[in-house]
Amino acid sequence: MAATLDEIRENFSLLDDWEDRYRYVIELGKELEPLAEGDHSEDNKVRGCVSQVWLKPHLSADKVDPVLTFVGDSDALIVRGLIAILHATYSGKPVSEVLSIDPEAIFNELNLREHLTPQRSNGLRSMVERLRKIAQDAGG
């Protein structure tokens, strides 16, 4: 079962050095629900990432405030871990809540920004923008 954002925060607080946190992020990625091979498509591909990244969204049928869920994958282990953190942050939330989440605050709290390369940070930003656009387009 995927980790919740609170579990991720707690585990990050218990890990003192960044190497241990890095390994933990990779472990989170290994626990991700696999993306079906057919979903590794151009429609699901996230632009702006150095690694190959796919996010397959799903919106519930609720017309007022649909719930966003998604599955994702990457060819890079650390990026799969970042997808797992985004999954814990956004998946299963109504689109109105997705749009109110401050991802920068979460990434800063986990000290992700200072430990990711600029390319990984840009890719993370591209994934967030993709999820937020899906929520906006759904009427959030």
Q: Identify the three-state secondary structure at position 93.
A: strand
Which runs of E-coded beta strand occur in the chain?
53-59, 67-74, 93-94
Which of 49, 71, 106, 135 is catalytic? The answer is 49
Token readout for 16 is 């003192």
82 CA to centre of own chain: 5
The question of whether 49 is a catalytic residue gets the answer yes
Q: Identify the three-state secondary structure at position 59.
A: strand
Q: Which helix (H) or strand (E) holds 109?
A: helix 103-109
Which runs of E-coded beta strand occur in 29-109?
53-59, 67-74, 93-94
Catalytically annotated residues: 49
